[in-house]
Structure 1
Amino acid sequence: MTEPLPPAALATLEALLAGPDPVISALRAQIPYTRVASGCDCGCATLDLTVDRTAVAPVPAATTPAAEAWYEVPENAGVMVFARDGYLSLLEIYTSADPIGTWPEPRFRKR
């Protein structure tokens, strides 16, 4: 069973996949067809993603992680988005502190 992306996760994903790079743009085009497949067992906000492969083409040159950013709040969190077989597959949040259960606001992204 899948669920829509929570608004805060969607905002984080859109912020990570912003910019003119053609691979990033192609992954960004998958966002409307992306849903949450499952969450992390540790209590953090990390999400396994699934994309409707009948609605959008894979991105052949996607690297993994496809994009990464650091945020000042909460607690110097790192966020990465991964692609597998050309499709968005994981939105991960990590820190050396306790698991982070919420997505950081894009305005806290370190430049």
Structure 2
Amino acid sequence: MTEALPAELAHVLGAVLSTGEDPGLELSLQMRHLWVQTRCACGCGSADFSLDTAAVAPVPALTGTRVAAEMELFSAGGEIVGEVLVFVKDGYLSRLEVCSWSDELWTLTDAHRILCPCDR
């Protein structure tokens, strides 16, 4: 099932891509051409993307499958509770993953609340 990129996911993806230098800026240009292909069944909010590769060029420096950007998630008490990873495959955005570093499930909604407080 393919769905449009939800605002919450777009905000988190944009926040993580904006933290670094290139290639985050180049990759952010691909965001308007993304769709959600699948979502993780556990409820964390991780998503695999589809991308209109005819509409946007790949980032040539990013070959293979790898993490292109990441951002740690901090609890209200300042502890690191997880992270958000942005993956690319052959220069194209391919996945956003919300990772928990404990038994507590941290979700896309949690990541959005932590990383994008002005969007609430």
Tell me, in whole angstroms, the C-alpha distance in 1 between the residues paired with 2:44 and 2:29: 26
Q: Secondary structure at the match of 1:32?
A: helix
Residues matched between the structures, number: 108
Corresponding position of 2:70: 68
Structure having the larger proportion of residues in helix: 2
Q: CA deviation at 1:73?
A: 4.2
Q: Secondary structure at the match of 2:97?
A: strand
Corresponding position of 1:91: 96
Over aligned residues, Cα RMSD in angstroms?
2.1
Q: Which runs of 5+ in 2 are unaligned?
A: none
Task: State the TM-score, normalized to the length of structure 2.
Answer: 0.78
Larger radius of gyration: 2
For 1:18, give the aligned amino acid: S
For 1:42, give the aligned amino acid: C
Structure having the larger proportion of residues in strand: 2
Tell me, in whole angstroms, the C-alpha distance in 2 between the residues paired with 1:16 and 1:29: 14
Note if contact 1:30-1:56 (Cα within 8 Å) is conserved in structure 2.
Answer: yes
Note if contact 1:19-1:25 (Cα within 8 Å) is conserved in structure 2.
Answer: no
Q: Secondary structure at the match of 1:56?
A: coil
Q: Secondary structure at the match of 1:49?
A: strand
For 1:69, give the aligned amino acid: M
Q: CA deviation at 1:23?
A: 1.6
